[in-house]
Every structure is written in C-alpha cells, then in structure tokens.
C-alpha cells in the first residue's frame, strides 16, 4: 500500500516546531548579544576617550603653565593658540604625538573654533578654523559640562567623541578639548568581539537543531509506522506484523501500538470468526479458498473441499427449541474443529452447513480422515432425548486451475446426493 501523502504531515509539523523556535531563539540571542556588545563597546570607548582627554589635558597642563587663550598676533587674520605665555599651535606639535600614540584624534577649541587638531582631510589639510556643531556648543560650552557622543559628525565623519570644557581660573570657558574615534574603526574592533559570538550561536544552533531533528525524526518515523500498521488493519490485513522498533521504548507510542495490536485481534475475531461456534466464518473461508486455489496452481499442492450439513437440523429446532439447536451447532463445531487439527481448516458456511478444507491431501486420504470425523459427530446426542446427531458430507478434490465456484458447486452436488440417498454418509467424487 502506498504511503498516504498529507498536506501537512506530522514530520513537517515536527520540523517546524523544532526549527522555527530554534531559529527565533538564535536570532534573539544574537541580537541581544550584539546589542549588549555594542553597549559594552560604547561604554569602553567612552571610558577610553574620557581617560585620554584627561591625559591630554594633564600633559598640556604639565608642560605649559597658564590658561588657554588666542589672538591674531601677526595680523594675518588667523588666531594663534596660547597656554599661558607659550604658543602651542602650528605644525608637528605635541598634539600630533598624543594622537598617534593614543590612536585617536585630538582637538583643542578656542571658544567653538578648532585652533589645534589632528583632524585632516584626504589631502592632508588640517581642520583648523572649523567650528563645532550647534549641539556641542549648547551641551558643552553653555552648560560648562563634559559630554560623550556615540554618533556625532566630526569633520564630516561619524565618530564617537568626548568633549570637555576648558575653564580658566576665574571660571570662564575658554574653549574645549575633544578626543574622538571614527565609528568605522570602533566597528571593526567590535566585529572582532562579535564574530566569535555570531559563529558560536550559529554552530550551537546547528548542533542543537541536528540533535532535535534527529530525535524528532525517530519519533515521527515510529508514528508513521503505526499509521501504516493501522491502515493495514483498516484494509483487513489482520495478520500484519507490527514493526519491531515501535516497541523498543517504553512510552505512549508503545502503548498505542499494543492497543492497536489488541484491537486487531478483537477485530479479527469479529470479522473472521463465527460468534456462536468459534469456527472461522464464511468471509474467512472465501479468502482461504482463493488462497488454496492460487497455491494449487503455483506450488502444485493437493487440496480437498467438503461441504457438510447436519441431518434433520430443522426438526431439532422445532422439537427442542432454538437454544438446543445452538447447543447442537456448538457441539458439532467442536468435533469438526478437533478433527481438522493438523489436517486443514473448518468453517461455518451458513446455518447448519460447514466447510472443511483438507490441505496437502489426496482425495482418498481426505475421505478416510473425514470418516473419522463423521464417527465423532455420531457421538453427539440431544440432551435428555434419544435423538442422535448425524451429518451428510459432500467431498471433492480441487483440480489445479479450477475456479473456486466450480469446486464448491461439485462439493454441493455431492452433498445433495448424500442427503437424497439416505443422509449420514459421505459422497466423494
């Protein structure tokens, strides 16, 4: 039987239940981890820039004594930066050494204008004379408090920057010192931290996903085998063997399989056995006849078929009642079943008729064995009466290639002859 294809099979559902939550969990872990790493990196950059700004101020305060101020001393329209009485701007100044050693950009503002800076454009021109943004002026100069920015434009480049006001001894803000690092350089550094997290999350998700899919696949395969087994039962194949691996684990699936097996036995009893006599019924007998017809052709086996009828059974019913009739049927069935052990099959054909199938028997051997069964039936008496139970038998051999209807018709004709010529006998042709 071909396996039924479902639009939404249990296997696909299990894969979705496994992989979708795992993928969502992995994405969430990655987002939270990267967000946390971004926050950690920002805090780290902030601490570094604050420390480096303090270091730069300490160096300048140590080397140069006095407050920061500026003037156009040579009248060329450009301000010169002083600290105390010493000029501190120009080319190849100490600020370049600080920026190179600390791997940052350092700028000293007079008011809001850059007069000393390591910032340069692509052609190497310094950003001297450019001004700070309105936001920085408001946040730092006007409030006289330092400020850290995670996303500020520093000379047309997105950067992390820390601004600290330069306050004179008399409390006036003369300018600012700013230290900054481009976001690109920080992101490269952050990538070095996040890449192992990213790779670890992906590999962990793959391993966990593989393990979950492996066990879910085993589970769905067991359930699929139960489904196939149940379909076989539904199609009437009650002798179908249950797959062994279904019962390997003591769980609900094993219990369901065992319940299915018990159900199969119960259904088989209902479908293939006669409730009154406990013999196989006509449905089973029809299948058996077709089976022996095929084996007679393919394997050359010899079979004999007999239709038997209880003599004067209607009188038993009419005289002693149907309950006694049922008793007689059960007693006859016992004799037939016992007599056919090791010889073949006995089935109730209908009413007081029975079908006997002798397997791997020549006709004369089957007749001798049937005679012994007939003698056993003669030992049955209706209780508390002088009525003996006898039977008439029509026996014939199945010819290879012969149809089931043909052999049954011949057996039935033999039975008719046995009843018409005195009953309580075997007619064998």
Q: Whole-angstrom Cα distance, residue 166 to residue 3? A: 82
Q: Averaged over 168-176, what is the pLDDT?
A: 88
| Residue 123 phi, psi dihedral angles, 5° rounding | -95, 5
Question: Is the confidence at residue 82, as pLDDT, over 90?
Answer: no
Question: Is the confidence at residue 328, as pLDDT, over 80?
Answer: yes
Q: Whole-angstrom Cα distance, residue 166 to residue 145? A: 10
Least confident of 71-75, 152-156, 262-266, 283-287: 262-266
Q: Averaged over 304-311, what is the pLDDT?
A: 96
Residues forming a β-bridge with 303? 359, 398
Other CB atoms within 10 A of residue 288 CB: 20
Question: Is the confidence at residue 206, as pLDDT, over 70?
Answer: yes
Q: Averaged over 401-414, what is the pLDDT?
A: 95
List 52, 80, 352, 369, catalytic entry: 352
| pLDDT score recorded for residue 1 | 41
Q: Averaged over 326-340, what is the pLDDT?
A: 96
Least confident of 57-66, 300-309, 345-354: 57-66
pTM assigned to the model: 0.51
131-140 pLDDT, tens digit each? 998 999 999 9
| pLDDT score recorded for residue 333 | 96
Query: What mean pLDDT value characterizes the chain?
Result: 86
| pLDDT score recorded for residue 338 | 96
CATH of domain 13-189: 3.30.450.40
Quick check: is 323 catalytic? no
Question: Is the confidence at residue 7, as pLDDT, over 60?
Answer: no
Topology alike, domains 13-189 and 273-428: no
Per the CB < 8 A criterion, the answer to whether 176 and 109 are in contact is yes
Per the CB < 8 A criterion, the answer to whether 30 and 201 are in contact is yes
The crossing angle, in degrees rounded to 10, of helices 282-298 and 404-420 is 120
CA 322 to chain CA centroid, nearest Å? 59
Least confident of 45-59, 64-78, 105-119: 64-78
- Pick 92 or 182 by higher pLDDT: 182
Question: Is the confidence at residue 5, as pLDDT, over 60?
Answer: no
| pLDDT score recorded for residue 236 | 65
231-253 pLDDT, tens digit each? 776 676 666 776 776 666 666 66
Question: Is the confidence at residue 409, as pLDDT, over 90?
Answer: yes
Domain boundaries, the chain: 13-189, 195-261, 273-428
Kindly indicate whether the domain formed by 273-428 is annotated with CATH number 3.40.50.1100: no
Specify the long-range contacts of residues 309-312, CB closer than 8 Å, at least 24 apart: 309/352, 309/353, 309/354, 309/391, 309/392, 309/415, 309/419, 310/352, 310/389, 310/390, 310/391, 311/389, 311/390, 311/391, 311/392, 311/419, 311/423, 311/424, 312/423
| pLDDT score recorded for residue 124 | 81
């Amino acid at each position: 039987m071909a396996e039924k294809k479902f639009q939404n099979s249990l296997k696909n559902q299990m894969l979705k239940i496994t992989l979708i939550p795992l993928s969502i969990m992995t994405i969430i872990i990655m987002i939270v981890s990267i967000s946390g790493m971004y926050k950690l990196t920002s805090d780290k950059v902030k601490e570094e820039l604050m420390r480096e700004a303090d270091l730069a101020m300490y160096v300048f305060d140590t080397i140069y004594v006095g407050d920061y101020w500026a003037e156009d001393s040579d009248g060329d329209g450009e301000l010169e930066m002083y600290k105390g009485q010493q000029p501190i701007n120009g080319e190849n100044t100490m600020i370049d050494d600080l920026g190179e050693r600390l791997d940052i950009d350092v700028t000293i503002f007079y008011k809001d204008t850059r007069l000393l800076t390591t910032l340069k454009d692509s052609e190497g021109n310094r950003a001297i004379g450019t001004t700070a943004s309105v936001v920085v002026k408001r946040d730092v100069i006007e409030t006289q408090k330092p400020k850290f920015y995670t996303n500020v434009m520093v000379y047309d480049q997105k950067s992390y920057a820390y601004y600290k006001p330069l306050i004179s001894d008399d409390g006036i803000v003369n300018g600012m010192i700013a230290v900054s690092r481009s976001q690109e350089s920080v992101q490269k550094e952050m990538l070095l931290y996040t890449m192992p997290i990213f790779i670890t999350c992906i590999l962990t998700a793959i391993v966990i996903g593989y393990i979950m899919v492996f066990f879910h696949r085993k589970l769905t395969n067991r359930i699929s085998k139960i489904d196939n087994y149940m379909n076989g039962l539904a199609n009437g194949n009650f002798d179908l063997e249950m797959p062994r691996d279904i019962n390997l684990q003591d769980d609900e699936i094993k219990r369901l399989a065992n319940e299915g097996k018990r159900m199969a036995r119960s259904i088989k009893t209902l479908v293939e056995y006669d409730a009154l006599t406990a013999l196989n019924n006509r449905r089973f007998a029809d299948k058996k006849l077709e089976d022996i017809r095929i084996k007679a052709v393919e394997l050359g086996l010899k079979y004999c078929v007999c239709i038997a009828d209880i003599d004067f059974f209607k009188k038993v019913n009419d005289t002693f009642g149907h309950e006694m009739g049922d008793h007689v049927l059960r007693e006859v069935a016992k004799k037939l079943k016992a007599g056919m052990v090791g010889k073949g099959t006995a089935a109730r054909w209908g009413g007081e008729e029975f079908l006997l199938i002798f397997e791997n028997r020549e006709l004369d051997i089957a007749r001798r064995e049937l005679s012994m069964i007939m003698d056993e039936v003669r030992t049955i008496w209706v209780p508390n009466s002088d009525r003996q139970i006898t039977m008439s038998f029509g026996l014939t051999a199945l010819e290879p290639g012969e149809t089931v209807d043909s052999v049954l018709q011949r057996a039935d004709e033999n039975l008719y002859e046995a009843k018409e010529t005195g009953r309580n006998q075997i007619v064998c042709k």
